[in-house]
Amino acid sequence: METASIRKIRASDNEKIVQIVHQVFEELGVPKTGTAYQDKELYGMFEAFEAMPKADYYVIEEEGQIIGCAGIAPLANFEGNVCELQKMYFLPVARGRGLGKELIKICLTQAKAYGYENCYLETMPYMKTAQALYQKNGFEYINGPMGCTGHSACPVHMLKKL
């Protein structure tokens, strides 16, 4: 059995990423309005991240299947040197194996290499396991959103100094 590996997104991954996001949203009952579900770049993640400066998106692959994903990109509509940890989703088979920790580490290392000063994220209040993972990686809760990501349904905001 192969072990999971993390690599940068390829154009051929786009459809699978959409499937993962939709599956996780359905499983966890995440609202489709005011969340990443509505992001136009969701349907062309490779192209969207290729077009952005100082942005990378990664997938976790195991036995030829993508089982998780996340990336970093400049925080939308924000004046400052802040990136956003974006679209971090895992299928059930990927959870509880330390893969989230590894993926965050890669994202934050790349964010530092790009020279970002802080990393921001938004999530849902009932995603307690994800929040615990973020806290273990140095993210702290902040009062209110930064920038304007278009994710009005995500009321939990966190920030990490890089």
CA distance 149 to 153: 11
The single-letter code of the amino acid at 30 is V
Q: 139: which DSSP letter?
A: -
**Residue 152, SS3?**
coil
Q: Among candidates 154, 64, 59, 142, which has minimal Cα distance to 102?
A: 59
Looking at residue 104, its pLDDT comes to 97
Tens of pLDDT along the chain (162 residues) come to: 468 999 999 999 999 999 999 999 999 989 888 888 888 899 999 999 999 999 999 999 999 999 999 999 999 999 999 999 999 999 999 999 999 999 999 999 999 999 999 999 999 999 999 999 999 999 999 999 999 998 988 999 999 999
CA distance 119 to 126: 21
Q: What are φ and ψ of residue 56, in 5° steps? A: -145, 145
What domains are defined for the chain? 5-161 (3.40.630.30)
Predicted confidence (pLDDT) per residue in 25-37, tens digit: 999 989 888 888 8
Looking at residue 31, its pLDDT comes to 87
Report the Cα 139 to chain-centroid distance in Å.
14
Q: What are φ and ψ of residue 115, in 5° steps? A: 90, 10
CA distance 81 to 138: 18
The single-letter code of the amino acid at 28 is L
Looking at residue 34, its pLDDT comes to 87
Task: Please check whether residue 19 is in contact with residue 42, taking contact to mean a CB–CB distance below 8 angstroms.
Answer: no
